[in-house]
Structure formats: structure tokens, C-alpha cells
Amino acid sequence: MEDSNSYIRVSGFVLGSLMFQHLNSDSDVEGLILGETKAEERSNITDSQIDNIQFEHTINIQKHISCRKLNSFYNRIGEVNQDEIRHILSNYKEENVIGWYKQRRNTDQQITFREQVVHENLKRALSNHELIFLLLTPSEITTSGSTHKLEYAVFRSHGSQYCSVPVLVSNLGLLEEQDYWRLSASCSSVNYNHAVRKHRSKFFSSDGSLHEVDEINDMNNSLQGELKIACKKVEESERLVEKLLADVSDLRRMVNDRKQELGEISADGASTPAQPQENVLLCEVIKTLFPGASLLQTQALNFQGFPLPEFCCSTDHGIDIATTLPLILSHTLPKARKGRLGRGGGTSWRKRPLRESSEVPKRRKGMLEETEESLSVSGSETEEDLIPANQNGNDLDVSNSPVF
């Protein structure tokens, strides 16, 4: 499938200079337009079709030459005078003429009878079937004359019909261009071309390609290689994660099955509605580690978040902490361990402020000697010693933050 698109490209300063030159003229004006034409064929391959060919025909307007008076290069019936055209062009070549323009004040944006005749004759005279006609029509918008508008359009003939061609004005910031330019901007300046030719060999090789292109290609290849290695590693780790996730799922399924079995067994004889399960292990541990701390043993909090001592669990769950959770007792202080194993000692611990430090160093030293291998200092411990609360008989001095 083939598509054909035609565009007119003109830089902002070329169009602006043309408009500025003629906007204040006291009559209709006309002139010739110079530039060049480029045709490009692009082949896009998409998922749906493999041969989508687009022809882009771009006409670049580079310069304008105004005529000193109307009807200077044609007569009353639109016949073109080629000598007069050459005179107007002076040093420029006829091949550079890509069209002509006219500014008509207060008229419609429509090509006139004579303009059509002149256009056809000019096409024949210049042997250019792609000749364009730029029409500018300034007009007043308000009756007070405070606001004027200048409309412009480019026309090209297809047989007897004239259709408008889209105009792209290239300003400093080319807002509509999203891709890289595939062709360099055209410029007819002699000095520009001279400067480029002088330094060209530093950038381009003999075949016209840039020197750095090969180097960049090599770097690109290296990057591709590294990318491949990284991708391989990612793939391997992803597979490992997948396997682990599968294992976890299996274990969870097994746990759920076991729970269901236990639940079925207990449901056979139970007639009471389901109650929240008590964490009996936690309950026994707290009782062991903090025998007198009722605040720690409670299972209920009030609306302000304070524990309610009257909801402590008083049930003996018959769990031997030393055998069930030996690590809990191994991490406690030796004195504390001895107190716990006695069960019912009711000894609870609290921190003693530093002002009682006269007794602390000895006790601490003793404690440290016994537990230096197994004791680990936690971040929540402070310089204050841990002393049994019943030593001063004041439970209110116990810290509100439980420390395990």
C-alpha cells in the first residue's frame, strides 16, 4: 500500500519577512518564491502489513523575491513573459523557482480567475509541474480596525482543481517534530556551504559516514553483550524465586490441611460457639518471665489502650516452658531464670534508677560473670539495673514498656 503526503516547509523568519515586507503595502503585491523540493520514500513494516510505503514530498521555501508592480511578468490574459521573469530573478536560477505568491487585502481565500491562468502558464514556462501558489489575505476583523488577521495558504493544481497543501512553519523550537530529522535542513547560503566543506573531513569519512559511527556501533554491541549476560542472571534468579514460591505454597497447603483436620476433630464434640483461641504458649511464657506483672498478663485493653489487670488469665495450661521453649529461658538473666523455674515465686522485675547505683556495680558484675557467654545486650536496656520489684514493694514503679 502506498501513501503520498506533501508538505510545505518554511522557516519562521522567511515567512515572517515576507509578511512584514508586504503587510503595509498600499496595494496588492506579488512575487516569486525560491526553494527546493525533496522527495522521500519510507517503508514502514507493522504487524498487520509488511509493505506500507509512504512517499513524502517536501517543498522548502527559502526565499522570496517581490515584484515592483503588479502584472509585471504576465499580461492582461495571463500570458507569462519569461524574459521578465529572468529579469526579476537576476542572479538566481529559474530552477530554484518553486512557486509564486500574492497578497490580496480583504478578499476570500480563494484563487482567482487570472491567478489560475497565470499559474498554469508559469508551470509550462518553468517546466515545473509541482509549482505552488502562496496566497496571503490580510483583513480587518473589527470595525474599529484594532485587530487584523493575515490568513495564508499554499495551493497546488491537480488538473483543473486547486487544493491546499499543509504548511509547516519551522520555528526555533520545532514543536511538531517528535522524531530525529532524517534529512539535514536545507540552506542555500554560499558562506554556510563553504564553511561546512572546510571542516567536513574532520567528521566524515570518504564514503560520507561519520567517523564516530563505527565506534558507537562497537560500543552498542558491547552493551548488547552485557545486557544479555544480565538478562541470563535475572532469568536464573527468577526461576529460583518461582521454585521457592512453589515450595511455600505447598507448605501452606499442608498447614491449612492440618488445621482443618484439628478443627474437624474439635468440632465433633463442641457445642459451644467458636471462641477466640488463646495463645497458651505466650501466656505461659509471660507468667514465667514476669510472674507478678498482671499488666503484661492481661488479654484486654480499654479504649485508651491501657491494659486491664482484671482480665488476666489465671488458667494453668500445663505447659513446661523449659522443655517447650528452652530458648526463652536461655536468653534471660541467670537470677531471673532461677526465679522463673521456681514458679509461683511471683517475682517480677523492674528497672532501678541509677541513684541506687551503690549496690548496682556489685550485682551487675555478678550477673555479668554468670551470663557473659549467653547474655546479649538489647537496645532497649538502659544503664539502670534490673532489680526485683518486690524489693521495694511498689508495683507502680514497673515500667509500662514490656521488655523481653
| Residue from 4, 20, 28, 86 in contact with other proteins (CB under 8 A) | 28
Report how far residue 321's alpha carbon sits from residue 289's, in angstroms, rounded to the nearest whole number.
Answer: 10
Report how far residue 351's alpha carbon sits from residue 389's, in angstroms, rounded to the nearest whole number.
Answer: 8
| Residue from 67, 97, 101, 115 in contact with other proteins (CB under 8 A) | 115
**Helical pair 334-341 and 280-289, crossing angle rounded to 10 deg:** 120
Query: Count of residues binding other proteins (CB under 8 A)?
Result: 29
Q: Please enumerate in sequence order all residues whose Cβ is within 8 A of that of 53, keeping only pairs 6 or more positions apart, or say none.
A: 1, 2, 3, 41, 42, 43, 44
Report how far residue 133's alpha carbon sits from residue 112's, in angstroms, rounded to the nearest whole number.
Answer: 11
114 in contact with other proteins (CB under 8 A): yes
CB of 81 to other proteins, least distance (A): 15
Residue 78 or 345: the one with the smaller Cβ distance to other proteins is 78
What single string gives the DSSP state of each residue in 194-232?
HHHHHHHHHHB-TTS-BHHHHHHHHHHHHHHHHHHHHHH
Q: Please enumerate in sequence order all residues whose Cβ is within 8 A of that of 213, keeping only pairs 6 or more positions apart, or say none.
A: none
What single string gives the DSSP state of each residue in 250-279?
HHHHHHHHHHHHHHHHHHHH--SPP-PPP-
CB of 113 to other proteins, least distance (A): 4
CB of 167 to other proteins, least distance (A): 20
Q: x/- site string to other proteins, residues 54 to 83, per CB under 8 A?
A: ---------------xxx----xxx-----
The C-alpha cell 523481653 sits at: 404
CB of 26 to other proteins, least distance (A): 5
- What count of residues does the chain have? 404
Q: Which residues pair with 135 in a beta bridge?
A: 102, 153
Name the one range near other proteins by CB under 8 A: 99-107, 122-130, 176-184, 256-264: 99-107
DSSP annotation of 185: P
DSSP annotation of 305: S
Q: x/- site string to other proteins, residues 125 to 164, per CB under 8 A?
A: ---------------x----x--x-----------xxx--
Residue 71 or 374: the one with the smaller Cβ distance to other proteins is 71
Which SS3 state, helix, strand or coil, does residue 191 take?
Answer: helix
| Residue from 4, 5, 17, 27 in contact with other proteins (CB under 8 A) | 27
| Residue from 108, 177, 235, 236 in contact with other proteins (CB under 8 A) | 108
Residue 159 or 379: the one with the smaller Cβ distance to other proteins is 159
Residue 74 or 349: the one with the smaller Cβ distance to other proteins is 74
CB of 165 to other proteins, least distance (A): 17
Residue 75 or 217: the one with the smaller Cβ distance to other proteins is 75
Q: How many helices (DSSP H) and strands (DSSP E) are in the chain?
A: 11, 10
CB of 10 to other proteins, least distance (A): 24
Residues that bind other proteins (CB under 8 A): 24-28, 69-71, 76-78, 104-108, 110, 112-117, 140, 145, 148, 160-162
